[in-house]
Amino acid sequence: MKKRFAGKTALVTGATNGIGQATAVRLAAEGALVGVNQRPTGDPRETLRRIKEAGGEGFPVVADMRDPEQVIKMVQEVARRGGRLDYLVSNAAINALIEWDKITLEDFNRLSETNFRGTWVVCTECAKQMIKEGHGGAIVIVSSISAHVGAPTQTAYCGTKGAISMLGKALGSVLGSHGIRVNVVEPGAVRTNMSAPLLEAAPEVRKYYNDRIALHRIGEPEELAGPITFLLSDDASYVTGAALLVDAGFIVNAEL
């Protein structure tokens, strides 16, 4: 595999499973030293095993995205361990799957503090570190198709994803002068631990997704790692402030 990221250091949040894990492995396989973020209760061993199996290098870094001080220290630790910080994949998120009239203030705060504020803190802290080092960099924020469409049990979640999609565009507009590109990837239906309760709820639910998606199948995390690493790479050197919908033609099939 081509070593597009040799000599570079990357931080991937929410990297112990799903899209974050697949992206961390892909970055490491292509030469980056990867900081594998885990929650305090998380387990990075499977991601680190896959990184080693791919011939790459990575190390665990602990931070709860709801705790800004932990996030700031994590960014500093990744830069220290790597000797620099070149890339961020802000992927960590939660989804409560609660109907709108049953969401408590505590539920809302947990969603918004993890998904939106956590994204804001890690993106801005990484950008400050890149500016301090003076070599530019690239950031990809993992949002969702839910930034564009509503869902009965995801109203608050949709709000957080709409917010971080706009955040990526806004950050792209102000960080370009520092040589930092910021882009957003918006996945559709992808097989992850977080999506499992929704996608595997019942046979009719799976049929709905398979019928509605233009490619007629659920995506795999590795299929998101490709677009994410593209946007980080020099192949996307003229791309910033963009949002890439990676949904296999789900959103355009409104006539079904």
Backbone angles phi, psi at 21, to 5 degrees: -65, -50
Instruction: Say which of 8, 87, 143, 144 is annotated catalytic.
Output: 144
Residue tagged active-site, from 87, 90, 161, 233: 161
| Structure tokens given for 227 | 């677009």
Question: How far from 88 is each of 78, 106, 142, 234, 248, CA to CA, in Å?
Answer: 10, 29, 11, 14, 25
Is 144 a known active-site residue? yes
Cα 142 from Cα 246, distance rounded (Å): 11
Q: b/e per residue, 164-180, with b = 16+ CB within 10 A?
A: bbebbbebbeebeeeeb
Which token pair is 12?
Answer: 């991937």
Catalytic residue check, 161: yes
Tell me, yes or no, if 208 is annotated catalytic.
no
> At what angle are helices 118-133 and 68-82 packed, to 10 degrees?
30
Q: What helix, strand, coil percent values describe the chain, rounded to 5?
A: 50, 15, 35
Q: Which two tokens stand for residue 193?
A: 């631990």
Among 90, 143, 157, 195, which one carries the catalytic annotation?
157
What is the set of active-site residues?
Answer: 144, 157, 161
